[in-house]
Amino acid sequence: MSKQQTYPFWLGGVAASLAASCTHPLDLTKVRLQTIPDSTKPSVISVVRTSIAESGVRSLYTGLTASLMRQMSYSLVRLGSYESMKAYLAKKGQHKTGPLLLAAMFAGALGGIAGNPADILLVRMTSDSIRPPEKRYNYSNAVTGLVTLIKQEGWGGLTRGLGTNITRAILMNGSQVGSYDYFKSRLLRKPVPIINYQFRDNLLLHTVASCLSGTVATTVCAPADVVRSRLMSASGKTSPLEVIKHSLREEGPRFLFKGWTPAFVRLAPNTVLMFVFFEQLKKAWRTMSPVS
């Protein structure tokens, strides 16, 4: 009997880091839109123009070190854990959507815990320029930011927004990774109606499935993402409930989907690149380590 192909735990983290390096300006724009007061009525274009006018094009890559730290903690754990669980379920003959979705959500929770400190740094570094000068964090990079965070707020500071972040991570992994596998299997199963096209396991399939999963993930995660960004950008003590109550009072229910468009513009290509890189890295690994 041939052995099932296994992959390194870190493979997903590398794929996510490659994707984040390409889409970081979109992530930065999304966070700034979510944390700017609604009274200013900012647009995607205005946020980008302001960033470039103040610090040049390089400012669009502010916080990249935190983004890479996040991918090599959050995404590494969520993708690596999910692949391990999926392989285990495959051995047990559990190929149904339900068990795989639960595995994706549990892996997301683990990733949310692992990546919380880097998430705090990423939100603060990408939103720093829109804060008053006296309230800026001024982290030069993720490592110095992490040290400063611990010095100023203690080890407990690393758990700021943890509950919201875990919730978002559960929703993200379930809606992104779980739906990707679902769409991929459905597209492979039978020809697409109307156009009568049968997909094969190739780059086109990976791109289409990841576009669909990116749309699902953006919509499902939008409310938790907004609350998480506002919690992590705050300097004083606050709670998710306080953030929600204040935002509802000042902006109404629409605040929950604030930044949906830039979130989609960022998440869709990020999802496509992440899964395309992931699939290509898997292919390369299979070539180097063939199953006997």
Type of residue found at 222: A
The pLDDT tens digits for 56-111 are 777 788 889 999 999 999 999 999 999 999 988 888 877 778 888 999 999 999 99
Helix (H, G, I), strand (E, B) or coil at 192: strand
The pLDDT tens digits for 171-201 are 999 999 999 999 999 999 888 777 778 899 9
The pLDDT assigned to 41 comes to 59
> Which domains are delineated in the chain?
11-280 (1.50.40.10)
Exposure string of 99-128, with b = 16+ CB inside 10 Å and e = fewer, is ebbebbbbbbbbbbbbbbbbbbbbbbbbbb
DSSP string, 104-146: HHHHHHHHHHHHHHHHHHHHHHHHGGGS-GGG----SSHHHHH
Retrieve residue 70's tokens.
């996040």
Residues in the chain predicted with pLDDT less than 50, given as ranges, are 1-2
For the chain, give me the number of helices (H) and strands (E)? 11, 0
The pLDDT assigned to 221 comes to 84
Whether the model pTM is above 0.85:
no
The pLDDT assigned to 273 comes to 95
Write down the residue that tokens 């392989």 correspond to.
Answer: 87
